[in-house]
A and B are shown apart, each in its own frame.
Chain A
Amino acid sequence: MMDEQEALAIISGELDQALDGVRAPARFAAEVRMRTGVSKRPEFLDMVGWTGVLAMACALQLYFGPREIGVDWFVPAGVALMAVALCVGVYSLRELAD
């Protein structure tokens, strides 16, 4: 004959098994964004803004920087910095999509 403790343990175990890890569906956030009209604009602005700042820094450095350092050095450096900014932007977009 089953006693109350045993019954409670069975109930608790079954409920844990049935209800563990309930999460919103995968498309939930995207559907909410569609309904609210909230866009990923802030992340795009971040990406464009930081890329612009880095490009400007490179240009200023190119103009005002010491002449003894070869100009050729700044072009790949600028491209590399812009690539980093782009990666950060893409990463933030992917995180947002998740």
Chain B
Amino acid sequence: MTVSDDRQFEELLRTYQDKVFRLCCAMLGDRGLAQEAAQESFVRIWKGLGKFRGESSVSTWIYAIARNTCLTALKSRPESRNLSMELPGVRASAERAAAGSQGPDRRPDVMQLVAELPENYRQVVLLYHMEEKSYDEVALMLGMPLGTVKTYLHRARKQMAESLMAAEAVKMAERGS
């Protein structure tokens, strides 16, 4: 590694650390695993930097490395598909839902609805909301066509809305009886 490579790596680390971490969070659903995978991704980026020929954009290359690292992590831990309480937002959401469960107008545990989605849908939903609702960014990060991202997001939102309406209907029926 030359000084120039070190400098380039520093720039990449500074620019992409949050995005790679969010991608790993969305794919793995666990903050601790995401941190480990994101670090491993940057180690791979550092090792591969000298061989990078610029055939694709740097961001495409970096996200591909991060996705592959996450897929390796998922393969070594296939038993759990639930969102971890350590994922950013999950604990807060669960606490809000639990706190509200005593009152008459309880707020929904949306993260639970997200956890029930198929894996592809869940990744798109999480990343879409973490990346300030940019379809293009989500497509780039997940390496999917833009149309697929929109389709997955539409289906995921529809499924979650249906689950929420069904839960609300059950709740109203319970109140009525």
Which stretch, B39-47, B57-65, B70-78, B142-150, touches the partner chain A?
B39-47
Contact A32 B110 (CB under 8 A): no
* A interface bracket (residues with beta carbon within 8 Å of B): 20 to 34
Q: Which of B39, B89, B161 touches A22 (beta carbons < 8 Å)?
A: B89
> Which applies to chain B's interface (DSSP): helix, strand, loop or mixed?
helix
- Least Cβ–Cβ distance between B143 and chain A, in angstroms: 20
Assembled-state Cα–Cα distance A11/B165 (Å) = 11
Give the total number of A-B pairs whose CB atoms are below 8 A apart: 112
Contact A24 B110 (CB under 8 A): no
Interface string of A65-80 (1 = CB under 8 A from B): 0000000000000000
> Which residues of chain B come closer than 8 Å to A96, judged between CB atoms?
10
> Which residues of chain B come closer than 8 Å to A12, judged between CB atoms?
129, 157
CB-contacts of B6-22 with A (<8 A): 6-7, 9-10, 13-14, 17-18, 20-22
Contact B161 A11 (CB under 8 A): yes
- Least Cβ–Cβ distance between A72 and chain B, in angstroms: 39
